[in-house]
């Protein structure tokens, strides 16, 4: 038998979450004899990152709000959900621009309780 491609639980979780978070935007414009078509303006929306499962747990709180995108400043998110500790993830203004545009950005959280988590934003 040939080689089998087997996903780890972590890879499966990340790929599943990314598939669920994938979005498509369709813009329909009408025809007009007098007006030239204009490009649609993008509206900032909240975007959630997927937090990896490490040390047998994961965290919540990896959501960037529309207001944080439009403010244009670097931010730090606090990852919560574990009863004994939290982590932080810092994102630069350039990284926020990439995430807003749909580019995948992976960040490693701060270390706490002897481990880190990877947060994936699309």
The pTM assigned to this predicted structure is: 0.63
Q: Domain for residue 78, yes or no?
A: yes
Q: What pLDDT does 23 receive? A: 55
Asked whether residue 2 is domain-assigned, the answer is no
Which domain range does residue 99 map to? 9-29+43-121
pLDDT tens per residue across span 95-116: 999 998 999 999 999 999 899 9
Asked whether residue 4 is domain-assigned, the answer is: no
Task: Please report whether residue 70 resides in a domain.
Answer: yes
In a domain, 105, yes or no: yes
Q: Which residue has the higher pLDDT, 39 or 80?
A: 80
Rounded to whole angstroms, the maximal C-alpha distance in the chain is 66
Asked, for residue 1, whether it belongs to a domain, the answer is: no
Predicted confidence (pLDDT) at residue 1 exceeds the cutoff of 50: no
Q: Is residue 3 part of a domain?
A: no
């Amino acid at each position: 038998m040939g080689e089998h491609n087997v996903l780890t639980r972590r890879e499966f979780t990340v790929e599943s979450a990314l598939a669920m978070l994938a979005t498509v935007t369709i813009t329909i414009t009408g025809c007009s004899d007098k007006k030239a078509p204009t490009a649609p303006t993008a509206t900032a929306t909240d975007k959630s990152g997927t937090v990896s499962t490490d040390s047998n747990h994961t965290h919540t709180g990896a959501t960037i709000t529309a207001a944080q995108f439009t403010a244009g400043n670097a931010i730090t998110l606090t990852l919560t959900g574990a009863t004994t500790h939290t982590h932080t993830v810092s994102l630069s203004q350039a990284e926020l621009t990439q995430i807003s545009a749909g580019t995948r950005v992976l960040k490693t959280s701060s270390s706490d309780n002897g481990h880190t988590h990877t947060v994936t934003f699309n």
